[in-house]
Structure 1
Amino acid sequence: MIFSRNGFGGAEAVAKECVEYYEGEPLSYMTVTAIAALRALAAVAPVVPTTTRTIEQFQRITLPGAPWRYAITSNGGNILVDGIPDPAWRLAIDDQVTASGATLAQVGAELRSRTDDSWVTKYREADELFCYLVVRPDQVPTGFLAEWDTWCRANGWSASQQGRKIYTMPDAVCKSLAVAEVRRRLVESGALIAGARVFTAGDGALDAQMLKAADAAIRPRHGELEELNFTAPGLTVTTATGILAGEEILEWFHATAQRAAVPVSEPA
């Protein structure tokens, strides 16, 4: 839903507003049309912002349609309830990570032993859940990602690349699991009826399971999933690329929600 200047995709002349600042500088934008569409959608359906960003990174976005009853951050590792991390969900995630494989400390040490400053610019740990590298994509050694992913999968983790970032994620930290939990809570509270459908959008490999688990989903014609030629039953691919794909995704949500016979939950 939000795009840096590098992600405009040739739509520089379209009217936009900045929705994220970092250290006082404008960072991410939405088109004016997309802002209005997201506000309108949030007024008629439970919208659940869902992101790989950390809690801190998510909270610096002024996302239209707020306040959010629920939001999912840290790739599903945290569920925010009225902006506050849910401790019970996080404890359950931490227990699953501990039981299913290597710890973050073990993974981080192994990863750092396989990298060097010639192609890695940063190593970061996110919300004490997972880690990622910021890399020079054209200098990543041939075969590194596949070899690293093989080690990870043998230890309860996986690896994927999205642009300049290579993520290393425990299997227990998954957006689709957090979306299912939020849906359960919305039904339990009466905000949704039991048969409510879930519609999702995403553009990276870390979104793939969430897209496949939804009743219907959409991805843009750009990003990691486009490069992988990702498809799934019930998946729509936008015609537009870049920031205009954000508008098209929101148009799709509105049209799909209107066709649905019951209220919907939509992780954006």
Structure 2
Amino acid sequence: MASPKPVLIATDLDRTMIYSRNAFAAAAPETVCVEHLDGAPLSYMTVTAAAAMTELAAAAAVLPTTTRTIAQFDRIRFPGAPWPFAVTSNGGNILVDGVPDAQWRRTVDIAVRAGGATLAEIGAALRNRIDDSWVLKYREADDLFCYLVVDLARTPHDFLAEWDSWCRPRGWSASRQGRKIYTMPTAVCKSRAVAEVRARLVATGRLDPVAPTLAAGDGALDAEMLRAADRGIRPRHGELEELGWTRPGIEITSATGILAGEEIIDWFTAAVPGRVAEPTG
């Protein structure tokens, strides 16, 4: 068996590692497409970041950790694959060698039921509050949570705060990420899934028991994962940036947009014993 990995890295994907063209935020360096949708290119990394991520995945235990559904995650060709573990659905699902772990999902479903309202109840209440003058799509994700795709310019300014206040006593919360407004059970969170994967990696000798957990993410749904990690980093853009969110042990990139992805990978690489990141800027 290979030596235990010295670091666990849990990283969000969209607007942390991978970027649409609209999110580049700078003159585009040389890029590689890592996701297609209906045959069209959708998400990118810089060529430098993609090469660095491949090297990082060989040196550390990298755990892709995303709010995407299983199907949406499967579209990505994230450098370093195949992944022994991945976290999707904001922690609602753990993929083991690409296959959803049924035991973990049962645990999550039990916690959601114990926590308050059902998805059906939340979905019905949400649909009663919206209309097509500002909502482009309503979607339910992996039978766990729901989200809206909205026209930001037309979205009522007080909708998110009022909807979140209604959800909280019922065991749910609401947050915005770009043009999406997520409504999520409190029991569905990335940090719990990351802790579960960490325990499995340690138990099977693939992760050093004293290895630190590092995390990266840009959205409000990443905040609890960043808090739970030993150290973390977030890009200088996204929802957490808009909120001015920071905590001890959390660093913020100098770059914004797709170049922040390079900087985050450099930061992770520098934390792996025996490795020094070469500046990618």
Structure 2 length-normalised TM: 0.91
Closer/same/farther in 2, CA of residues 168 and 248 from structure 1, 3 Å limit: same
Q: Which residue of 2 aligns with 1:2?
A: 18
TM-fit CA distance, 1:31:
0.4
CA RMSD of aligned residues (A): 1.0
Residues 52-201 of structure 1: matches in 2 within 5 Å?
52-201=67-216
TM-fit CA distance, 1:185:
0.5
Partner SS, residue 153 of structure 2: helix
Q: Which residue of 2 aligns with 1:11?
A: 27
CA separation in 2, counterparts of 1:45 and 1:256?
Answer: 10
Q: Which residue of 2 aligns with 1:205?
A: 220
Q: Which residue of 2 aligns with 1:254?
A: 269
CA separation in 2, counterparts of 1:151 and 1:53?
Answer: 24
After superposition, the C-alpha distances for 1:161-180 in whole angstroms (9 at most, x for unaligned) are 11100000001100000000
One-letter amino acid of the structure 2 residue matched with residue 200 of structure 1: A
One-letter amino acid of the structure 1 residue matched with residue 137 of structure 2: K
Partner SS, residue 272 of structure 2: helix
One-letter amino acid of the structure 1 residue matched with residue 87 of structure 2: I
Partner SS, residue 20 of structure 1: strand
TM-fit CA distance, 1:51:
0.2
Contact map agreement 2:219 2:240 (CA 8 A) in 1: yes
TM-fit CA distance, 1:143:
1.1
Identity %: 66
TM-fit CA distance, 1:138:
1.4
After superposition, the C-alpha distances for 1:43-64 in whole angstroms (9 at most, x for unaligned) are 0111000000000000000010
Runs of 4+ in 1 over 3 A off after TM superposition: none
Partner SS, residue 218 of structure 2: coil
Partner SS, residue 166 of structure 1: strand
Contact map agreement 1:157 1:171 (CA 8 A) in 2: yes
Residues 228-243 of structure 1: matches in 2 within 5 Å?
228-243=243-258
CA separation in 2, counterparts of 1:50 and 1:258?
Answer: 23
Contact map agreement 1:11 1:242 (CA 8 A) in 2: no
TM-fit CA distance, 1:197:
0.6
Matched, 1:42 2:57: yes
Unmatched segments (≥5 aa) in structure 1: 261-268
After superposition, the C-alpha distances for 1:179-203 in whole angstroms (9 at most, x for unaligned) are 0000010111111122111000000
Contact map agreement 2:59 2:272 (CA 8 A) in 1: no
Higher relative contact order, chain-length normalized (CA < 8 Å, sep 6+):
2
CA separation in 2, counterparts of 1:164 and 1:259?
Answer: 41
Partner SS, residue 207 of structure 1: helix
Matched, 1:23 2:23: no
Matched, 1:51 2:32: no
CA separation in 2, counterparts of 1:176 and 1:54?
Answer: 17
Q: Which residue of 1 aligns with 2:238?
A: 223
CA separation in 2, counterparts of 1:163 and 1:8?
Answer: 14
Q: Which residue of 1 aligns with 2:12?
A: none
CA separation in 2, counterparts of 1:104 and 1:207?
Answer: 21
TM-fit CA distance, 1:11:
2.7
TM-fit CA distance, 1:139:
1.1
CA separation in 2, counterparts of 1:211 and 1:141?
Answer: 30
Q: How many residues align?
A: 259
CA separation in 1, counterparts of 2:64 and 2:252?
Answer: 20
TM-fit CA distance, 1:259:
7.3
CA separation in 2, counterparts of 1:208 and 1:108?
Answer: 24
Unmatched segments (≥5 aa) in structure 2: 1-16, 276-281
